[in-house]
Structure formats: structure tokens, C-alpha cells
Chains A and B, each alone.
Chain A
């Protein structure tokens, strides 16, 4: 039994870790960015009395003449090709609604998944009626953003073997801006587990499966028990990622790997304490800096 009640006054207060370079200029809502003349108004800005002003707190971004202000923290804005993790919320006519932590629920069409029986099968009424057998409310999926509708909602597809329904594992949620965009979002860590870093801020951690998964990836396997070693690693990775996200550090394979190495001196449950989180985030930042130099 491990019970610890600490006093708030005794706790060492750590703010967000000090940035290494000069911080960019941050605009607050209503603050003037520049004169309108010659510039185009983008997201996060409005025009008033001939000047562009910010509507959100964030940093300015320019693409040629277009001025946008991107907020420091926002819900996920999808881009085509992003790897995302989502949870099915609803079944409607020929499609699933998927929660992606975006402004609107995304859509997964029945035609954008691989059904048992191969690529070129026609989807008939039977498939439509048995949609709940493939994916039902609450199921987690990994998918790719296929297109963006006019209203900003996303359309997903799972037409690749690497995407599919997720089985046993742990989901953690972080801010979507903390996920570093990279070529590969599927990582097999050397410690024997796989993680999927969804661009929308959802991260899935599961044991690396040795045997090839069935081709469709819509089957459930619950009999298999994850062994205790993998379980410990999964929990360690979970706690480490939460520590990194608490201190607003970018999450990608290298940072996770470094943080994992730094966390070796703690037991998994010790990683829940604020001190351990700070220590790991700090050490990881140092190592990342050294690597950059």
C-alpha cells in the first residue's frame, strides 16, 4: 500500500521549462499585428480601422501575403495525410462518426475501409447492415485523413494494412500541437512495444505483435493476455509521455526514447509524482539540446 499526501507548500514549484532560444512575439486578441494594406486576412485575425488584429493569443505566421495567427493551444486542425487516432461515436447511414478531438467529428465512410474479402469487393446492403459488427460505438481506430470537407470536418480512410481497429493497449490524450509531424508516426520502440502518435494528439501504446495481424484488422482478440513485462513498459511509456506533455515538450520518437532512458532510475509508479516528471522532462531537454548542437 502506497499512500502519500504531500503539502502544497512543500512542493517545489516548477514552471514551464525555460526556453532555449528567444521566445517569439505573442499577440493577444485585439492587438494590432500590422496595417492591412497589402496583406490578406487569414485565420485568427480580423480587420478593424485599416489594420489587422489578432482574435486569438498566438504567434504570427506569414505565407507570402497571407497573415494568420496560430493559437498556442487549439483543437486539432486536420491536414490531408495526417495519421490520426479516433474513437467511433456514432453510426449513421453508410458512415461512422469519429471523435478526433477536432472541432467537428470526422467521418469514416463505409467505402473507405477494407472489408473482409479483398480490395475490389462491392459493398452491398449486407455490409451496410452489419456495420456495427466491424466497428461499433466506443471502438478506437487508427486512420489517415483522406480529405477535408468545406465545413472543416475531416474524411478518413483506413485503406492500408497499417491502419485498423486498435485492440489491447492504452490511449493517452495530449495537446495536438505537441505531436511533432514526421514521416513516420508508427514506432516500434526498442523496449518491445509500439506506439502510434496520432497527429490529433491521441497516442496509442500497445505491445508489439510478432505474428502478422489479419489482413483486415477488424477482428478482436481478447483471449491474449499482455504479459507483465510488456505491461510495465507500456505504463512506463505512458507516464513518461504524460510528463513530457505536462512540460509542453514535443513528443516524437527521439524524445520518448531519451525520456525512457532517463526514467530508468524511477519505478513506474514513482513516475506519477511531480518531482520525477520535472526531472525527466529537464534531463530529456538537455539531451535533446546536446544532440542538436
Chain B
């Protein structure tokens, strides 16, 4: 996936560092690199967020459209995830290079969100029309730990999303006519605070580290990605890499992953609240920093 390669000496150095609980950049095993979040930066989207985790840069936009619900779930709306690995991120994504990673990310994101997200909130008229959310994830730069960064950005973007208010519905036989307020500020926010975030824990030697860098991912024997809700519930687990785990190690990893996940959720929650409270004449920075 990446163009980084390491020699044995560097690997040994990283592995010993993890053993001593002091990683190459000075973090302890469970520390995250500084994260930076910006919300509502794309004016054409109903909700958007950009997250920067060291060198990983993720832009997530949510677009809202109207669709008819599936016949088997007439009261549920729809949500779809698309991940695009831009060739800007690394030359290996060029052409169809990033396709597998993108498919895996979008599938796992929808698996993780599905058990927690109440789709019936997106219903407009039962069996007739519903909201459909398109969550488009764009990976602009890839500096390791994509799963965590993507999930944080996706949650922030969904929290930032607001649905237009429906003024009235008119039923004309089988057809439904919707009237939607034309005031762009007449919207109601989508409640997405309960959504989980993903925590990747990479097993290096006999220990595991949170927020692995690309170098650490290369040294690691395997990686467990855990989706944790703010209440500490686990909604999905995935294994990455070709390693295998002892049962006790696995339990330990999941346990500490959920603890980290709760803190990560809390940190995100605080940041989002801070962003909402400072809403007056907010300046968009985007990429001009």
C-alpha cells in the first residue's frame, strides 16, 4: 500500500520502543497524534468535515436526497458510504490501486454504523418516500491509521448534517407531493451523536499500540479495528493483516480498544460542541493554513 520500506535495524528499534512504552515520536502506546477537525467546509454539501491526523487528511461530505424506501423496510431511510482513495494521497492509489482499500473501508464503516444508526429517523412518508444520505469519503493524504481518521471524520460530518424541513405533503392518489422549505436555514439537524468511532490497535511484538504510523503498521503482526459507541458498546470488530492472536491477547486488545474508543468519542463530542457554540461568523480555513 505504501512506498515506505524499513530495514531490520529500524524495525528492531520500533519494536523495542513499543516494549518500553516509548514510541519513535515520543508517544506512549495508547496516545494519539494531535488531531485537527474542521466542520462545514463544503458549501454544496448538507454536512461536511475535514479531519487531519498527522499526515492523514480526510474530507467527508454528506449529501441528502429523496428516495423511495425498500419494500422490505418501508419505514427506514437509506444511507450509503462511498470511499474514494484519491491518487493524490499516494501514487499506489492510482488507477484501480486504492479500490480494495476503499471497498473495505466503506463496507466496514456501514457495518459499524448500521447496528447503531436508527434509519427510521430518515422516513418521510412510510412506504413512499424517505431521505437517503450519501456519505462520500475522500482520502486526500494517507499517513497511516486510515480507519480511525475516516470514522472520526464521517461521524463529525454526520453530526454536522442537517435535513431540510418538510412543510407539507400532499397525497394525490398514489403519488406523493412533497413541499420542502426553500429557506436554506430552515433545517433540522440530524442526530448522529451515538455513532461509533473506529479504534485500530496494531500488535507489535507482545504489545499493541493505538494510532499506528505507517512505519509501525509495517512492523506489526496484525491489527484489530474495533468500532466503539460513546457508551462503550462494541458494534463491529475487524482484523487486518496476516497475523494471528492468542485468545487472551485478543480479549485484552478489545478491552483496551473500547476504553480508548470511549475517550475518543468524548474528545470528538467536545470538539463538535465547541464548534457549534462558536458558530457566529465562523471563518472557513479549508486548506489555506
Contacts and interface: CB of A to CB of B under 8 A. Distances in A.
Q: So, do A and B actually touch in the complex, CB under 8 Å?
A: yes
Interface of A: 1-11, 13, 87, 137-140, 166-171, 220, 222, 225-226, 228, 231-232, 234-236, 238-239, 267-269, 271-274
Interface in B239-287: 259-260, 263-264, 267-268, 270-271, 274-275, 278, 282-283, 285
A2 B22 CA distance: 13
B184 interface: no
A269 B28 contact: yes
B1 to A, nearest CB: 16
Nearest to A207: B13
Contacts of A13: 285, 289
Given A8-B37, A272-B25, A140 B10 contact: yes
A199 to B, nearest CB: 20
B111 interface: no
A3 B26 contact: no
B9 A167 contact: yes
A203 to B, nearest CB: 13
Contacts of B30: 1-2
Contacts of B35: 3-6
B196 to A, nearest CB: 15
Contacts of A170: 10, 13, 24
A236 B24 CA distance: 9
Contacts of B210: 1
29 contacts: A2-B28, A3-B263, A5-B268, A6-B271, A7-B36, A7-B278, A8-B36, A8-B52, A9-B38, A9-B282, A139-B8, A166-B9, A167-B9, A169-B13, A220-B8, A226-B13, A228-B22, A231-B20, A232-B26, A234-B24, A235-B25, A239-B25, A239-B26, A267-B26, A268-B25, A269-B26, A269-B28, A269-B31, A271-B26
A259 B260 CA distance: 33
A139 B8 CA distance: 7
B50 A8 contact: yes
B63 interface: no
Nearest to B283: A9
Contacts of B16: 168, 225-226
B56 to A, nearest CB: 14
Contacts of B5: 87, 137-138
A38 to B, nearest CB: 43
Closest 9 CB pairs of A and B: A268-B26, A8-B38, A167-B9, A235-B26, A2-B31, A168-B13, A269-B26, A5-B35, A5-B271
A52 to B, nearest CB: 34
A2 B27 CA distance: 9
A267 B22 CA distance: 12
Contacts of A5: 35-37, 152, 267-268, 270-271
B6 A3 contact: no
A13 B152 CA distance: 23
Contacts of A222: 8-9, 12
Q: Is the interface of A mostly helix, strand, loop or mixed?
A: loop
Most interface-central of B10, B32, B50 (chain A CB within 10 A): B10
A86 to B, nearest CB: 11
Contact of B7 (A139, A232, A274): A139
Contact of A220 (B9, B263, B267): B9
A42 B167 CA distance: 70
B33 interface: yes
A3 B133 CA distance: 29
Contact of A1 (B12, B20, B50, B263): B263
A231 B38 contact: no
B143 interface: no
B285 A4 contact: no
Interface string B31-70: 1111111100000000000101010000000000000000
Contacts of A7: 36-38, 271, 274-275, 278
B264 to A, nearest CB: 6
A140 B9 contact: yes
Contacts of B74: none
B232 interface: no
A171 B268 CA distance: 32
B17 interface: yes
B38 A138 contact: no
Nearest to A225: B16
Nearest to B259: A1
Contact of A272 (B9, B26, B263): B26
Contacts of A171: 10
Most interface-central of B36, B263, B270, B285 (chain A CB within 10 A): B36
Nearest to A234: B24
Contacts of B282: 9
Given A169-B9, A274-B34, 10 more contacts: A3-B264, A5-B35, A5-B267, A7-B36, A7-B37, A87-B5, A138-B5, A166-B9, A235-B22, A272-B26
A8 B41 CA distance: 11
Contacts of B20: 228, 231
A140 B282 CA distance: 48
A137 B23 CA distance: 25
